[in-house]
Amino acid sequence: MTHPPTPPGRFPTPPPPRKRDAQSTREKLVRAALDLFTSQGYHETTTPQIARRAGIAEGTIYRHFSSKEQLLNEIYRAAARLFIQSIKDTSPTAPCRERLETIAKSWRTIAHYNPNAARLVFQSQIKPLLDPRSRETENELKSEIEKIIAAGKASGQVRVGSAETWAAVWLRVIALMLERTADKTWPPDQPASQNAIDAAWLAIAANQTTASAAPTTPPPP
Amino acid sequence: MTHPPTPPGRFPTPPPPRKRDAQSTREKLVRAALDLFTSQGYHETTTPQIARRAGIAEGTIYRHFSSKEQLLNEIYRAAARLFIQSIKDTSPTAPCRERLETIAKSWRTIAHYNPNAARLVFQSQIKPLLDPRSRETENELKSEIEKIIAAGKASGQVRVGSAETWAAVWLRVIALMLERTADKTWPPDQPASQNAIDAAWLAIAANQTTASAAPTTPPPP
Amino acid sequence: MTHPPTPPGRFPTPPPPRKRDAQSTREKLVRAALDLFTSQGYHETTTPQIARRAGIAEGTIYRHFSSKEQLLNEIYRAAARLFIQSIKDTSPTAPCRERLETIAKSWRTIAHYNPNAARLVFQSQIKPLLDPRSRETENELKSEIEKIIAAGKASGQVRVGSAETWAAVWLRVIALMLERTADKTWPPDQPASQNAIDAAWLAIAANQTTASAAPTTPPPP
Amino acid sequence: MTHPPTPPGRFPTPPPPRKRDAQSTREKLVRAALDLFTSQGYHETTTPQIARRAGIAEGTIYRHFSSKEQLLNEIYRAAARLFIQSIKDTSPTAPCRERLETIAKSWRTIAHYNPNAARLVFQSQIKPLLDPRSRETENELKSEIEKIIAAGKASGQVRVGSAETWAAVWLRVIALMLERTADKTWPPDQPASQNAIDAAWLAIAANQTTASAAPTTPPPP
DNA sequence: TATGAATGAGTTTTCATTCAT
DNA sequence: TATGAATGAAAACTCATTCAT
C-alpha cells in the first residue's frame, strides 16, 4: 500500500513571486548556498563563493538576506518545511506503523531528489547556528512525529516509554536511512533502505520479548 | 550481570611528559578546549577563548599543539580511545546482545562522568575537521561494533541485513542515549536510558515479526 | 652619440584592469610597497604600514595581491622588466663597449627617475624572497648582458675569461653606479658616474697590460 | 711575491677566555648563529633554531647576548675584524696594486676557510640591521681600502677620480670573488678567481686608454 | 650559569558586510 | 535592484624575550 512517490517540487518554494527576475536571483542564491553549505559546511563556505556559484555579485546577497546566518536559517526552514509537509500529507487515521512508514518513504523520496535538503535537516552540523525560529521549526518536525507515536502508544502499538524518547529513536534511525539515500549509498528500492525503516519501527514497537540482558545498576558517585 | 561502573580515569591521559607543571598546562588546555568545542562548536571557539578559560597565554597553546585543528584531533582521539577501550574490555565469548549491552552501559558511565568526551565522539558536528589518523580511530570504533554484530548474525541473533547497516543503526540509537546521559536529561539509572539500550537491540535483533507495512516501490524518475 | 635620456614611463605599468579607481588603488599600493621595501627592507615593512602609506585599508592589499610576498615579487618583476627593456632597446650590431655604455646610461636614467625600482633590482637584500618566476626574470637580465659580452669576447673586445664572470663583474660595478644615482649621491651628469661606467668596461676590456702582481698559490689545506 | 696563505684562526676570536665552558657555550652560539644567518638569512632564523643547533637552551642565548640583533652585530663585527686585520697585516710601503692584491688573496683565503664570515661581511642582506658600532666597523674596512687607493692615486698608479669611488668599485668586484670563493664556485687556485682580482685592479688603474664611447649628457628634468 | 615553559605583542591573512555608483 | 571594490574587525599563529627553578 505505497504512496506512489511523487517527485517533490522545486526547492525552496520561494514565498512571494514578485518580478520574474528578482525571484530567480533569490532562487539561484538559495540553491548555491544550499549546495555549498551541505557539501563544504557553513564555515568553509564564503560569501564570495556563494555569489560566484549563483552567478551574482557579492553585494547582491545582502539585498535578499540580511546576513549569511540568516541565509542559512531561511534555507534550513524551507528544507524542514518540506519534511513537515510530508507528515501533514499522511492520513491522521492510519495505523501508527503504516503512517510512519509512509512518512519515511516520502522523506526518502525527498532525500533522493533533493539530497541537500535532507542533509541540511538531518545530518546537520549546523545546530549551533540555528536561530530561535529555526529551532521552533525543528521542534515542530519532532513534535509531529511525537504526536503520531503518542497515538500509537495509546493504541498499544508502541512500547511503554516516553513518546519523546521513541520519536527521537525513530528519527535517528530514519536520519541514517536518509543520509545514505542522499549520498546514493542506498538506492531507494534496495533492501538496506527498507531494513532501516523496519529497524526504526522495531526499535519502538510493542509486543516483543524485551527481557533485558541484565538489570541496570546506577553508576557509583 | 553488570560491570560495576567504575569512574573512568582522568581524561585525556597525556602521553609522556611527566614534569611538574608542563602536564598540568597541557591538561588545562585540553580540558578548556574540550569544554568549548563541545558546547559552542569548533569554529565558534577562538584561541583567545581557549587560552582565557585555561588560564594561560594564547601563545602557550602552540607550545603544546601545532594548530587549533591538531588540538581538536588530539582530543578527539583521546576521547574515542576511551570508548574503544570499553569494547575491548568486554568478553569476546559473551552472547551478542549481552556484549552490546555491556558496552552500552560502560559507555553510559563514561558519558556520565565525562560528558564532553561523549559529545565529541558521538554528537560531533566535527566530522569534516578530523584528520586521517582520527578517521582511522573513528573507523576502528565502528568496525569493532561491526565485528560483534557480524558474530551475532552468524549465530542467528541478529536479523538479516548487512552487519555494517546494523552497526550503524545500533550506534545511532546508543548515541542518542549517550547524548541524553551527557546532558543529564537521562540519569543512568532511569528507565529511559535502559529503554534506549533495549531499542537499539530490538532494532537489529532477529526473531521478530517484521512484515513490512507495505512493499517498497522505486520512486519515479 | 648619446641616446637622449627619455624620462621612463610610469612604474609599474599594471596589466589589464582599466577601471576608474581600481587601477589607482593598485598603483597606490605598489608605490607604497616599493617605497617601504626599498627603504626599510621587506621584513621590516608590515602590512599595516603599507596600507597606511597607500591610504587604503589593510584588507584591500589582499584584493590585489594574494600575499605580501606576491606583492614583492610582482613589484620586483615590473622593475626588472624596465631594465631588461632597456637592453632590448639597444642596437644588437653596435660594438660591445658602446652597447654596454648605452645600457648603463639608460639604466642610470631609470635610476634617476625611479630610484626605488633600481634599488629593488640591484641593491636587493631580497634575493631569498624571490619566487621562481622572479628568478627567471633575474636570470634573463643577467643572460642578456652575458650574451652581449660573449659577442664582445668573440670579436676580441673583451678579455679572456668566462663571459659569465665578466657579466657579473660589469653588473657589480654598474650596480654601484645605479645605487649612487638612486640615492642622489652621484648626479647623472657628474664625472663620478661616468668614471664608474668606464671602470666597469675597463674591468673586462681586452688589450691591457694585465701582468699579475704575483702568481697565485693555492691555500694550504 | 705572495703571502703563503695561512689558515685563519678560529672564528670568532672570543674576547676574554674566562671559564673553559662558559667560553665554549658562547662559541657554540656564535658558530650556530653565523651558520644559520648566512645560510637562511637573519629573519628566517629563529632563536630556538640557533639554540638547538648550538646544543644549548633557548634562554641561554640571553646570558651571552642581550638580543638576537646584538648577537648578529657581535658576529658581524668579529667577522669584519678578520678582514680588517688582513689589511693591517700588509706592508704600508708596498706599491698599491701589490698591496691590494695581497689583501684580496688573504681575504680569499678567509673566504675559503670561513665562508660564512665572508658572506656576512660582503654578501650581507643585513645592512639595515647593523647598529652604529657595526657601521663604524664597516666604515673602517672601507676607509682602510680607501687610504691605500688614495696613496696609489698620489703616486699615479690609480686613475683620476675620487678615492672613495675607486675603493667602492674595487670592493664590489672583490666581493664577487669572495662570494664565489665562499660558495666553492671558484676554487682559489683557478683562473676565474685571479681574473676577478685583476679586473678589480684594472677597473681603477691608471694608464689605460679610456676614451669614452660617448660623452655623457645629463638626463632631462 | 643554564634551563625551557610561558608569555604576549605583533604578524599576516580572511571574509562578512558596506556603500558609492 | 545590482554591482564589486573597499573595509576593518577579528582570526590563527609566530617568536624574541622573560623568569622561576
Query: pLDDT tens digits, residue range C116-155?
Result: 999 999 987 788 899 999 999 999 999 999 999 999 999 9
pLDDT digits (tens, 9 = 90+) for C97-109: 999 999 999 999 9
Average pLDDT over residues D11-24: 54
Residue B10 lies in a domain: no
pLDDT exceeds 70 at position D74? yes
The 10 Å Cβ neighbour count of residue D208 is 15
Q: Is the pLDDT of residue C213 over 80?
A: no
B147-185 residue pLDDT tens: 999 999 999 999 999 999 999 999 999 999 999 999 999
Asked if residue C2 is part of any domain, the answer here is: no
Chains adjacent to D (≥3 CB pairs closer than 8 angstroms): C
Residue of A nearest to B97 (CA): A213
Give the residue from chain A lying closest to B38, CA to CA. Answer: A128
Query: Which DSSP state fits B158?
Result: B
Instruction: Please choose, from the candidates A119, A46, A42, the residue with its C-alpha nearest in 3D space to the C-alpha of residue A80.
Output: A119
Query: How confident is the model at residue A124, as a pLDDT?
Result: 72
- Count: domains in chain D: 2
Please answer yes or no on whether C97 and D213 come within 8 Å at the CB atom.
yes
Q: Is residue A15 part of a domain?
A: no
Are A213 and B98 an interchain contact pair (Cβ–Cβ within 8 Å)? yes
Same domain (yes/no): C28, C104: no
> Is the minimum CB–CB distance between D97 and chain C shorter than 8 Å?
yes
Q: How far apart are CA A182 and CA A119, in angstroms?
A: 7
Identify the domain boundary among C42, C65, C88.
C65
Interface contact B173-A175, CB threshold 8 A: no
What pLDDT is stored for residue C69 in this prediction?
97
Is position C15 within any domain?
A: no
pLDDT at residue number A7 = 55
- In whole angstroms, give the CA distance from residue B197 to residue B179: 13
Q: Is the pLDDT of residue C60 over 50?
A: yes
For the CA of B29 and the C1' of F21, the distance in angstroms is: 23
Q: pLDDT tens digits for B112-133?
A: 999 999 999 998 778 889 999 9
- Answer for the pair B114, B8: CB distance below 8 angstroms, yes or no: yes
Which CATH number covers residue C94?
1.10.357.10
User: What's the pLDDT score for residue B4?
Assistant: 43
Same domain, B27 and B113: no
Instruction: Say whether residue C104 is in contact with chain D using an 8 A CB cutoff.
Output: no
Nearest to D128 among C41, C159, C193 (CB): C41
Which residues fall within 8 angstroms of residue D211, CB to CB, at 6 or more apart? none
Give the percent of chain B with pLDDT over 90.
79
pLDDT reading at B19 higher than 90: no
Q: Report the chain C residue with the minimal C-alpha distance to residue D108.
A: C219
Domain assignment present for A215: no
Give a yes or no: residue C144 inside a domain: yes
Residues C152 and C198 in one domain: yes
Are B60 and B156 contained in the same domain?
no
pLDDT tens profile D46-73: 999 999 999 999 999 999 999 999 999 9
D interface mutation test: which of C202, C207, C217 has the most D CBs within 10 A? C202
Same domain for C175 and C81: yes
- Residue B130, SS3? coil
**Cβ–Cβ contact D161 with C under 8 A:** yes
SS3 D37: helix
CA nearest to C104, candidates C165, C166, C193, C21: C193
- CA C6, C7, C12, C15 dihedral sign is negative
Is A3 inside a domain boundary? no
Query: What mean pLDDT do residues B198-212 have?
Result: 79
Structure confidence at residue D8 (pLDDT): 55
Structural domain harbouring B86: 72-204
B54 and B96 both lie in a single domain: no
pLDDT band at B14, cuts 50/70/90? very low
Q: Which residue has the higher pLDDT, A7 or D108?
A: D108
Q: How confident is the model at residue C168 (pLDDT cuts 50, 70, 90)?
A: very high
Chain D contact present for C189, CB below 8 A: yes
pLDDT given for residue A8 in this prediction: 55
- Stretch 10-29 of chain D: residues touching chain C, C-beta under 8 Å: none
pLDDT of residue C13: 45
Flag if D165 and C44 touch (Cβ within 8 Å): no
Minimal Cβ distance to A165: which of B2, B192, B208: B192
CA D83 to chain C, closest CA, distance in angstroms equals 17
Residue D7 — pLDDT band, cuts 50, 70, 90?
A: low
**pLDDT beneath 70, residues of chain A:** 1-23, 208-221
| Residue D7 forms contact with C (CB below 8 Å) | yes
Residues of chain C contacting D205 with CB distance shorter than 8 Å = 202
- Angstrom distance, A215 CA to E12 C1': 60
Contacts of B164 in chain A (CB under 8 A): none
Q: Which long-range contacts (CB under 8 A, 24 or more apart) does A146-154 make?
A: A148/A87, A148/A96, A148/A99, A148/A100, A148/A103, A149/A96, A149/A100, A149/A204, A151/A96, A152/A95, A152/A96, A152/A97, A152/A100
Model pLDDT, residue D127: 87
DSSP labels, chain A: -PPPPPPP--SS--SS--SHHHHHHHHHHHHHHHHHHHHH-TTT--HHHHHHHHTS-GGGHHHH-SSHHHHHHHHHHHHHHHHHHHHHTS-TTS-HHHHHHHHHHHHHHHHHH-HHHHIIIII-S-GGG--HHHHHHHHHHHHHHHHHHHHHHHTT-B-SS-HHHHHHHHHHHHHHHHHHHHTTSS-TTSHHHHHHHHHHHHTTBSSS----SS---PPP-
What part of D 121-150 touches C (C-beta under 8 Å)? Answer: 124-128
- Average confidence (pLDDT) over D121-127: 87
> What are residue C94's phi and psi, to 5 degrees?
-65, 155
Other beta carbons within 10 angstroms of residue B165's beta carbon come to 23
Q: Per CA to C1' distance, which residue is closest to E7?
A: B57
Same domain, residue pair D162 and D183:
yes
Q: Is the peptide bond before B92 cis (omega within 30 degrees of 0)?
A: no
Query: B125 and B43 share a domain?
Result: no
- pLDDT for D24 equals 87
Residue D2 has pLDDT above 60, yes or no: no
Nearest alpha carbon to residue B118 among B84, B168, B83, B69: B83
C221 belongs to a structural domain: no
Instruction: Assess whether C112 and C186 both reside in one domain.
Output: yes
| Helix, strand, or coil (residue C46) | coil
Residues D80 and D187 reside in one and the same domain: yes
Same domain membership, residue B98 and residue B163: yes
Tell me, what CATH number does B38's domain have? 1.10.10.60
Calculate the alpha carbon distances from B103 to A169, B98, B164, B204 in Å: 19, 9, 18, 16
Buried b (16+ CB within 10 A) or exposed e, A148-180: bbbbbbeeebbbebebbbbbbbbbbbbbbbbbb
Fill in the DSSP letter of residue D8. P
Given a cut of 80, whether residue C186 has pLDDT beyond it is yes
- For residues D107 and D45, membership in a common domain is answered with no
D95-133: burial string, b at 16+ Cβ within 10 Å, e else? ebbbbbbbbbbbbbbbbbbbbbbbbbbbbbbbeebbeee
